[in-house]
Amino acid sequence: MKKQKKEQSEKEIIPEKVAEFFMATKKSQEKNLAFSWGKDDSFEQSIKIYLDGKESKVCLTGIFAGSDLMKKKLHLEIVAASPKTQAEILLKGVLEDQAELNIAVRLSILKKSIDAKVDLQAKFLLLSESARVLITPSLEIAESNILAASHAVAIGSLDMDMIFYMASRGISIEKAKELLKKSFLSVG
């Protein structure tokens, strides 16, 4: 039996101002998708990815920055509909002032999606008492023979010990905070 070569793609950017984005994968296709939300505006976006091709894979990275009175909502749905499909989702964000972010993520593994794998990692920094992030992950698994289905969420604030350490090395407190925010948002 001839093994099919994986079809890889460059990182594709999902436009910020698109209200709805839908994508379906083909057999053995790999997609690297990214999106980022800036500090301005308030809006709602829906992203749905349907892993329809056997052995297809999607890696989705979302970066969020929010300040002032920004209010944004994201509805993210990933559906593993074929055998040996994989989804890796990484969401990272920094919110300050009175910014609010509401994220609903649904990861579904349909019946007959044998050896499927879905993973969500979400990490957020809140830089003020008024900043808010609400993330609601859900897993819907209809197939018993899967590799993995997981989600993890971490929400915290800047490490003041690290800021004071950097200040003791001659870096201003504001510059230290900015460096730590950029470091947190970087994606390997």
Residue-wise pLDDT tens digits, 58-101: 999 999 888 888 888 999 999 999 999 999 999 999 999 999 99
pLDDT of residue 141 exceeding 50, the answer is yes
47 vs 9, more confident: 47
Query: In terms of Cα–Cα distance, which of 83, 34, 22 is closest to 55?
Result: 83
Same domain? For 116 and 166 the reply is: no
161 vs 4, more confident: 161
Same domain? For 185 and 115 the reply is: no
Query: For the chain, what is the domain count?
Result: 2
pLDDT of residue 45 exceeding 70, the answer is yes
Same domain? For 151 and 167 the reply is: no
Answer whether residue 2 is part of any domain. no
- Domain residues for the domain of 174 are 158-188
Tokens of 147: 């590799």
Same domain? For 167 and 103 the reply is: no
Answer whether residue 5 is part of any domain. no
Residue 119 has a CB neighbour count (10 Å cut-off) of 17
Mean pLDDT of 127-154: 93
The residue type at 127: L
What pLDDT sits at residue 9?
56
Same domain? For 153 and 167 the reply is: no
pLDDT of residue 39 exceeding 60, the answer is yes
Answer whether residue 150 is part of any domain. yes
Same domain? For 68 and 151 the reply is: yes
40 vs 2, more confident: 40
Same domain? For 72 and 162 the reply is: no
Q: What is the pTM of this model?
A: 0.87
Answer whether residue 130 is part of any domain. yes
Same domain? For 15 and 70 the reply is: yes
Q: Which residues of 4-35 are buried (b: 16+ CB within 10 A; e: fewer)?
A: eeeeeeeeeeeeeeeeeeebebeebbebebeb
Same domain? For 66 and 117 the reply is: yes
